């Protein structure tokens, strides 16, 4: 499906159906042409309430003007047309403060809401809606630039398409996407968008001294890969690295997960897939930032060669790690990947790791919220502001002076799990901090996306399954930091 801005008012655009948002329950607005009929049907215009009047060619959706509410309303509208015979819809523009923000929000909501993963369905039911035409007409007659509107639509489509690509990757099963295959997909992305791409196999990882990552992948027939993609614009304003956890499957290793917890572990590659999406989107949007995506891809499986609780392994930076639980494997992969990133990308401005790292983060924040952790309060606040603007939910989990003591080991430099069952999301982040060079402590932030990365129910403009968590947040942060004016929302 595509969205197109048309320099015509609504009544001059031909379409099969018109989408009308009922803002703040205002059934008396001039765009609500069927007030009496809607009232008879009991439609009040509550947020996310939907009423289709096929004989009138109108679809009404309750909404508010806030940008994320516009995203949700757009998704509700598109989903309401799923099994109907409407190929082309039209809609007006709804502005709160910034035309660009709300136009982008509508397009993102429509494209993200239309997404479905039906690749393995024998009988597919494709969505009939092929196009939404956005009119040159605003809900409250507020002025806006058609040129800015067209640019906003194009940008939003690129971001949403990338998020949906990431969703496809995360939703794909482990028998289809394993470390070597993820490396091939990354190479395809690099070729398509003219990115630099370096792949390290198990021999390369051994030469680099990345024993922690090798240990995690040792028991699998699919050997680990470190994937490094780079987007280099001319005269970049900054150099930013995104490091993603790419466990293409996680059985828990010898610390075997219960069967119920093993289901959905194909989603343990969500951080790596997000990092891949971020570098792709940065290139497609031509952001003035050098972006590196480093994906640590491995499978945590079981056989006679599996790494074990009580093993002591050495990370790339020489730090020794006592393994007390083989299901705390993502942090081992990230430890080596973070060391690699800092060595291979000198003079970086920021380093961001993205990972479905801990169930503890889901306990703390729920299924829908990203946990944000790090040493720099200024950086964390910028990430949280970008999350609000992008529509992604995020909240800070704070460090304190006592929690690092829980990672102490009597036999190695550090333990891979805390000695307490509490605060697990934070102690996992503090483990990662041990592999961040001191000069980069204030440049590093950790995003735990374990909650929203994969949810087994529909929510907002996200479908059952993968959400593409982290991509929109990261792109909005880069735009706020290096593209937009300081007063841009």
Catalytically active residues, by annotation: 257, 331
Measured distance CA(15)–CA(6) in Å, rounded: 12
Measured distance CA(48)–CA(35) in Å, rounded: 17
Residue 250: name the closest of 324, 174, 305, 169 by CA. Answer: 174
* Cα separations in angstroms, 95 against 2, 90, 473: 21, 16, 21
Backbone region of residue 253 per phi and psi (left: phi > 0; alpha: psi in -120 to 50; beta: other values): left
Residue 53: name the closest of 36, 29, 70 by CA. Answer: 36
Q: Which residue has the tokens 């757009």?
A: 74
How remote is the C-alpha of 108 from its chain's centroid?
13
426, 446 contact by CB (below 8 A) = no
Query: Parallel, antiparallel, or unpaired for β 50-53 and 58-63?
Result: antiparallel
Could you say which DSSP state residue 256 is in? P
251, 321 contact by CB (below 8 A) = no
Handedness of CA 39, 45, 48, 52 (dihedral sign): positive
Helix (H, G, I), strand (E, B) or coil at 104: helix
Helix (H, G, I), strand (E, B) or coil at 168: helix
Neighbouring residues of 40: CB distance < 8 A, sequence distance ≥ 6: none
């Amino acid at each position: 499906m595509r969205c197109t801005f048309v320099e015509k008012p609504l009544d001059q655009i031909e379409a099969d159906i018109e989408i009308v948002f009922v803002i703040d329950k205002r059934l008396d607005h001039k765009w609500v042409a069927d007030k009496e009929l809607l009232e008879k049907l009991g439609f009040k215009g509550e947020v996310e309430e939907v009423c289709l009047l096929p004989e009138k060619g109108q679809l009404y959706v309750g909404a508010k003007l806030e940008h994320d509410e516009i995203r949700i309303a757009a998704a509700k509208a598109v989903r309401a047309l799923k099994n109907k015979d409407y190929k082309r819809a039209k809609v007006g523009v709804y502005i709160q403060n910034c035309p660009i923000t709300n136009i982008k929000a509508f397009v993102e909501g429509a494209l993200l809401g239309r997404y479905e993963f039906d690749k393995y369905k024998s009988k597919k039911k494709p969505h009939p809606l092929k196009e939404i035409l956005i009119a040159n007409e605003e809900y409250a007659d507020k002025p806006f630039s058609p040129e800015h509107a067209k640019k906003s639509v194009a940008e939003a489509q690129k971001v949403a398409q990338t998020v949906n690509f990431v969703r496809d990757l995360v939703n794909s099963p482990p028998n289809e996407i394993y470390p070597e295959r993820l490396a091939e997909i990354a190479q395809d992305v690099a070729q398509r968008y003219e990115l630099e791409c370096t792949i390290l196999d198990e021999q390369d990882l051994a030469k680099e001294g990345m024993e922690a990552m090798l240990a995690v992948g040792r028991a699998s027939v699919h050997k680990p890969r470190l994937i490094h993609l780079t987007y280099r614009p001319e005269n970049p304003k900054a150099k930013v690295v995104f490091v993603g956890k790419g466990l293409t499957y996680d059985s828990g290793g010898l610390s075997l997960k219960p069967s119920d917890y093993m289901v959905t572990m194909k989603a343990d590659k969500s951080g790596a897939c997000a990092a891949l999406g971020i570098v792709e989107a940065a290139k497609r949007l031509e952001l003035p930032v050098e972006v590196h995506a480093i994906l640590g891809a491995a499978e945590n499986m079981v056989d006679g060669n599996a790494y074990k609780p009580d093993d002591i392994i050495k990370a790339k930076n020489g730090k020794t790690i006592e393994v007390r639980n083989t299901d705390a494997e993502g942090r081992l992969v990230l430890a080596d990947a973070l060391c690699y990133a800092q060595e291979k990308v000198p003079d970086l401005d920021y380093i961001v790791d993205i990972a479905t790292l801990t169930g503890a983060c889901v306990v703390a924040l729920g299924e829908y919220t990203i946990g944000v952790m790090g040493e720099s309060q200024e950086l964390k606040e910028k990430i949280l502001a970008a999350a609000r603007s992008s529509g992604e939910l995020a909240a800070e989990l704070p460090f304190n002076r006592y929690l690092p003591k829980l990672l102490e080991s009597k036999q190695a430099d550090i333990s891979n799990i805390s000695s307490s069952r509490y605060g697990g999301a934070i102690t996992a982040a503090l483990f990662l901090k041990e592999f961040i060079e001191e000069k980069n402590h204030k440049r590093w932030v950790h995003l735990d996306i374990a909650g929203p990365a994969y949810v087994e129910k529909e929510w907002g403009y996200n479908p059952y399954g993968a959400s593409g968590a982290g991509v929109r947040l990261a792109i909005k942060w880069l735009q706020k930091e290096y593209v937009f004016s300081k007063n841009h929302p």
